Amino acid sequence: MNDENKTNEIVEVKKEEVTLPAPAVSNKITIDDLKKVEIRVGQIKSAVPAEGSEKLLILQVDFGNEQRQIVSGIAKYYSPESLIDKKVSFVTNLEPRKLMGHESNGMIFAAKDSADHFSLLDVSSEIENGTHIS
């Protein structure tokens, strides 16, 4: 076709609906949310395996002005003997929870990576039991 035979053609362009991905749900918290979490230094005074469980240890923890029982799934990584007198970080304002029939009054802080390396968040022995972590 040469230019002389061209006619004006109307070309219809269909609009395609483009669905944009939903915005990512943010897992960010505010400083006020963080202030709600009470993190304190506790010294493990005893650790015994929970009967009937390969994962759970029952810890008795000294927080300076009080002792608490905390049940934790760390038996795969730590022997009870290796935990005695360790000072680590705990969340202390969680609602109590029963695990294998044992009441737990807090949660131990730990790190675990994709290669299954595991570590408690140790605190210097110089820091007093019950000290708030901020």
Q: Does 7 have pLDDT greater than 60?
A: no
What is the rounded distance in angstroms from the CA atom of residue 87 to the CA atom of residue 106? Answer: 15
Spans of all domains in the chain: 39-120
**Top CATH class, 39-120:** mainly beta
Q: What is the pLDDT of residues 106-130, one digit of tens each?
A: 999 999 999 999 999 999 999 999 9
Q: Name which residue leads in pLDDT, 114 or 1.
A: 114
Hey, what amino acid is at 42?
Answer: G
Q: Does 3 have pLDDT greater than 60?
A: no
Q: What is the pLDDT of residues 69-88, one digit of tens each?
A: 999 999 999 999 999 999 99
Distances (CA, A) of 89 to 5, 8, 22, 72, 93: 84, 77, 37, 13, 13
Look up the pTM and report it.
0.77
Confidence of residue 4 (pLDDT cuts 50, 70, 90): low
Q: What average pLDDT does the chain have?
A: 90
What is the rounded distance in angstroms from the CA atom of residue 131 to the CA atom of residue 15? Answer: 63
Pairing of strands 97-99, 102-104: antiparallel
